[in-house]
Amino acid sequence: MSSGRSFYVTTPIFYVNDAPHIGHAYTEVAADMLARWHRQSGDDTWSLTGTDEHGEKILRTATANGTTPQEWADKLVRESWIPLLETIDISNDDFIRTTDERHEKNVQVFLQKLYDDGFIYSGEYSGLYCVGCEEFKPESEVVDGTGEFAGQKVCAIHSKPLERLEEKNYFFRMSDFSQRLLDLYEQNPEFVQPESARNEVIQFVRQGLNDLSISRSSFDWGVKVPWDDSHVVYVWFDALLNYITAVGYGQDDATFASRWPGMHLVGKDILRFHAVIWPAMLMAAGLPVPHRVFGHGWLLVGGEKMSKSKLTGIAPHEITDTFGSDAFRYYFMSAIHFGQDGSFSWEDLSARYQAELANGFGNLASRTLAMITRYYDGVVPAPAEYTEADLKVQRVVAEAVANADAAIEKIALHESLAAIWTVVEELNGYITVQEPWALAKDEANRERLNTVLYTVAEGLRALAVVLSPTIPKATTKLWTALGVEDSLGALTAQPIRSAGVWGQLVPGTTVGALEALFPRIETTDAE
């Protein structure tokens, strides 16, 4: 069923200098949760992720490892970045590499257009460059080094020395776009989110923009500038274009028109590239700007941004090997206010796994199915008359689905899960008060027991649907066990926005056995 809406979401494309850590996986999961939600809502959905393979950082890493940048990128993509998608259960529609021909060719098309239209000129550049950020650093982001780098100027993000570069470069007339960008932020307050990020971007652009150096000539690992092959395109200018080259820019106008513009999820450290440089590039080319750029916070370890270069990186499989991909996805999406920084700790992960997933949701599902099996030979009973307590469950379910959907619209992913969790809590409280095991002792209560167990099973049906974008594996198991496959079709085809409509679970459906959705995890330091 189509909703008539279209939704295109992207993650940043990841540098292939190293293997992924949980900070990268965090962006992937957030984009995937959104994509799955929209896909299941009948929106014409497209989700894109990929890898950023050009530039000095990758070149240096490959050289240090005694190989060519292409071979290095191929190895990292094959051995680390593609497997990550499986590790955390990502349902992306496409994966773009900046070394793909479809990308390189159309970066040149874009650049040539800007050149022909007078937005590019050549000049001299001198500045402090951070290879980690792949960016010339303004004075405000340069700090004094400490420890082994004492006495040197270092990047405030990477704490590594900056390099002074003096080159002949091509420049993009970005300064021409300051006012148009300010108008964009003003007229479309949703364009940069969250609010704190928006204010920061406005502040930055108000100071006036400089033209941007968009080529490098001291190395050749990149897309060649079409009119001067002694230069390669600046890696960020090249990378940002992936969002349009992946959906047909330059080669398939119909696909491009149907997908673009989309929305971008990015870490706050790369917000400026996406909310300032990228829309200015698009404006120069006469193309629509993205619907929205959302800057999420950082995963912190010991109070600092987690990163491989600072040796605080945790590989996603270290978590999923023990807890599984669903728990990984649920934990990061529910425990951190999306848009703010969040600290990761194993203790918090274990505690939430046990309390929320195993005891809160998993137990609810297995208890309910066990009772239907025990008291009704596995056949879902038809409800009798509803009492106020039952009607309250129905209201909670309907409100939760509506609130969760509204939160998804605002990209408040944590808020969406909090709304859904009101159903888990309501159903657990309802079972405690209704005591179906006590009702089952007396045949005179049979009708009441019918209603109570139908109510919980139907609540679980709604939960399976709205939780499926976050915990796809567990909800698929639950869906199959609820026996709804036959009567309602596949879980992924369930229209999510009408999941709160009461009464979709058909009485008479036979339920199956359900293994523990979130089994108890024995930790080595357990009692």
In contact, 27 and 267? CB cutoff 8 Å: yes
Check residue 510 and report its DSSP letter. B
Nearer Cβ to ligand MSP, position 131 or 369?
131
Considering the complex, what minimum distance in angstroms separates the CB of residue 371 from ligand MSP? 42
Check residue 161 and report its DSSP letter. B
Residue from 8, 15, 375, 376 that binds ligand MSP (CB under 6 A)?
Answer: 15
Residue from 88, 212, 266, 431 that binds ligand MSP (CB under 6 A)?
Answer: 266
The residue assigned the tokens 């888990």 is 424
Residue in 158, 291, 410, 473 annotated catalytic: 158
Q: Applying CB under 6 A, does 267 fall inside the site for ligand MSP?
A: yes
x/- track of binding to ligand MSP for residues 426-445 (CB under 6 A): --------------------
Report the alpha-carbon distance of residue 214 to residue 482 in Å, rounded.
Answer: 57
Residue in 105, 308, 392, 410 annotated catalytic: 308
Report the alpha-carbon distance of residue 200 to residue 87 in Å, rounded.
Answer: 35
Q: Applying CB under 6 A, does 52 fall inside the site for ligand MSP?
A: yes
CA angle 471, 474, 480 (to 5 degrees): 130
Q: Applying CB under 6 A, does 12 fall inside the site for ligand MSP?
A: yes
Report the alpha-carbon distance of residue 103 to residue 113 in Å, rounded.
Answer: 15
Closest CA to 182 of 95, 280, 267, 88: 280
In contact, 157 and 190? CB cutoff 8 Å: no
Nearer Cβ to ligand MSP, position 8 or 298?
298
174 Cβ neighbours under 8 A, 6+ residues apart: 209, 210, 211, 212, 276, 277, 280
User: Can 168 be counted among the known catalytic residues?
Assistant: no
Q: Tell which phi-psi region holds residue 50, choosing left (phi > 0), alpha (psi between -120 and 50) or beta.
A: left
Report the alpha-carbon distance of residue 490 to residue 513 in Å, rounded.
Answer: 18
User: Can 305 be counted among the known catalytic residues?
Assistant: yes
CA angle 442, 363, 327 (to 5 degrees): 165
User: Can 160 be counted among the known catalytic residues?
Assistant: no
User: Can 308 be counted among the known catalytic residues?
Assistant: yes
Considering the complex, what minimum distance in angstroms separates the CB of residue 242 from ligand MSP? 6
Residue of closest CB approach to ligand MSP: 267
Q: Applying CB under 6 A, does 158 fall inside the site for ligand MSP?
A: no
| Sign of the CA dihedral running 295, 301, 305, 306 | negative
* Terminal-residue alpha carbon distance, the chain: 51
Residue in 133, 268, 274, 414 annotated catalytic: 133
Nearer Cβ to ligand MSP, position 24 or 272?
24
Residue from 8, 9, 19, 26 that binds ligand MSP (CB under 6 A)?
Answer: 26
Residue from 77, 96, 212, 239 that binds ligand MSP (CB under 6 A)?
Answer: 239
Give strand pairing partners of 264.
10, 293
Q: Applying CB under 6 A, does 120 fall inside the site for ligand MSP?
A: no
User: Can 155 be counted among the known catalytic residues?
Assistant: yes
Residue from 9, 19, 23, 390 that binds ligand MSP (CB under 6 A)?
Answer: 23
Considering the complex, what minimum distance in angstroms separates the CB of residue 255 from ligand MSP? 20
**Listing from the earlier edge strand, what are the strands of the sheet with 215-216?**
215-216, 228-233, 224-225
Considering the complex, what minimum distance in angstroms separates the CB of residue 262 from ligand MSP? 13
SS3 per-residue string spanning 292-346:
EEEEECCEEECCEECCCCCCCCCCHHHHHHHHCHHHHHHHHHHHCCECECEECCH
Element (H, E) at 171: strand 163-172
**Region from 71-79, 262-270, 373-381, 507-515 binding ligand MSP, contact rule CB under 6 A:** 262-270
Residue in 38, 57, 103, 155 annotated catalytic: 155
Q: Applying CB under 6 A, does 517 fall inside the site for ligand MSP?
A: no
**Region from 22-30, 31-39, 200-208, 252-260 binding ligand MSP, contact rule CB under 6 A:** 22-30
Residue from 96, 128, 184, 299 that binds ligand MSP (CB under 6 A)?
Answer: 299
Q: Applying CB under 6 A, does 240 fall inside the site for ligand MSP?
A: yes
Considering the complex, what minimum distance in angstroms separates the CB of residue 48 from ligand MSP? 11
Rounded (to 5) percent helix, strand, coil in the chain: 50, 15, 30
**Region from 267-275, 286-294, 444-452, 486-494 binding ligand MSP, contact rule CB under 6 A:** 267-275
Give φ, ψ of 48 to 5 degrees: -125, 135
In contact, 51 and 13? CB cutoff 8 Å: yes
Nearer Cβ to ligand MSP, position 15 or 185?
15
User: Can 477 be counted among the known catalytic residues?
Assistant: no
Residue from 174, 181, 233, 270 that binds ligand MSP (CB under 6 A)?
Answer: 270
Considering the complex, what minimum distance in angstroms separates the CB of residue 24 from ligand MSP? 5
Binding footprint of ligand MSP, residue count (CB under 6 A): 21
Nearer Cβ to ligand MSP, position 215 or 475?
215
Contact residues toward ligand MSP (CB under 6 A) are: 12-15, 23-24, 26-27, 52, 239-240, 242, 266-267, 269-270, 298-299, 305-307
Q: Which residues are catalytic?
A: 21, 24, 130, 133, 155, 158, 305, 308
